Copies of this chain bind each other. A is one copy, B any other.
Amino acid sequence: MKLGTLAIVGVGLIGGSIGKAAKKRGLAARIVGVEPNADSAAWAVENGVLDAVVSEVPEDADLIALCVPSDLVAQWVITLADHPAPIFDVGSVKSPIIDEIEVSHTLPACFVPCHPISGSEKSGPQAADGDLFDGCTVVLTPLATTASSAQQACASFWGALGASMVSMSPDEHDAALAVTSHLPHLLAFAFMGQVTEQHLPLTGGGFRDFSRIAAANPELWWRIMRLNQGALSHALEEYSDNLRALADAIERGDESRGLALIEAAAKKRRAADPSAH
C-alpha cells in the first residue's frame, strides 16, 4: 500500500512509532502530525518521525491515526466526522469511547476503533520505535455502522506495519484487556505503595519485571483505568477471590490446595510463553 498523506493526531510514543514505522516502510508520500506539545512536535520533525507539523488535519489526508489519550478520542472523532478519510484510534478502551461519541453524534462510518497491543512504560516521541507493531496484535472493534472500506484500509495499514489483526466487540475487548493489561497495572501500582528505599538493594529480576509497568505514565493510566472502571472492577473481584483462596491455603498449610493453585498458574504462564521454558 502507498498512501498520499498520513495524518497522525497526537505524536507521543504510539503516534511517533506509527510515523517512524510508516516512513521506514515507505507507506506514505507525506506524514504530517498534529501535536500541541511544541517540544514533542519539534523533536518529531527534527528526528524524521514526521515530515511536518500541522495545526489541523489536512483535507486531503488519506488516513488519519488518532493517537491521543483514550478520553480525548471521542471529541476528535466528532470533530473529524465529516472528513472522508478512514480514521482509527489506538485507545486502550473501546466501549467508553463509542458511548461518548453516541451521546452527541451518530457514529461516523469512517471511524474504525483499533487497539494495538504494544506500548511501553515509556512515553513521548523520543521513545518511538519503528518496529513497535511488527509482530504485535491489533484488536479491531468495528461497529454495524463502520464502512467496510474504512475497515479494510485500516487493516491493510496495520498489516503493512507487521501487525496481525483480531476482531471482536468493544465490550469483549474491554473485558479481556481489563484482565490482561489494566488489572496488572492496577496491581503493580498498588504494590509499589509499600516498597521503600530500604527495600531496593533487596530486589532481584523478579521484582524488576513484576513492577516494571508501575513506571508507566500516571495520567495516561489514571484515564484508562477510570474509563474502563466497570470491567476493571469486575476483573479485580475475580482476582481478589483467587488471591484469598491461595493466601488461605498458605495460612492454613493446605498443601494440596495451595500447590494445585500454584501449579495451575505456572502451567498457564509457561504455555503463554513456550519459547522460554
Contact = CB atoms under 8 A, between A and B. Distances in A.
Contact of A235 (B194, B219, B264): B194
Interface residues of A, number: 88
A188 B205 contact: no
A212 B210 contact: yes
A229 interface: yes
A226 interface: yes
Interface string A205-236: 11111111111111101100110010011011
A1 interface: no
Contacts of A262: 189, 218, 221-222
A2 interface: no
A78 to B, nearest CB: 23
A187 interface: yes
A217 B183 CA distance: 24
A186 interface: yes
A258 B226 CA distance: 10
Interface stretch (A59-67, A82-90, A243-251): A243-251
A180 B199 contact: yes
A5 interface: no
A215 B270 contact: yes
26 contacts: A117-B204, A119-B205, A180-B195, A181-B207, A184-B207, A186-B250, A187-B191, A187-B210, A187-B243, A188-B210, A189-B261, A190-B242, A190-B243, A192-B264, A192-B266, A194-B238, A209-B212, A209-B213, A210-B210, A212-B269, A214-B268, A215-B266, A218-B259, A218-B265, A225-B258, A226-B253
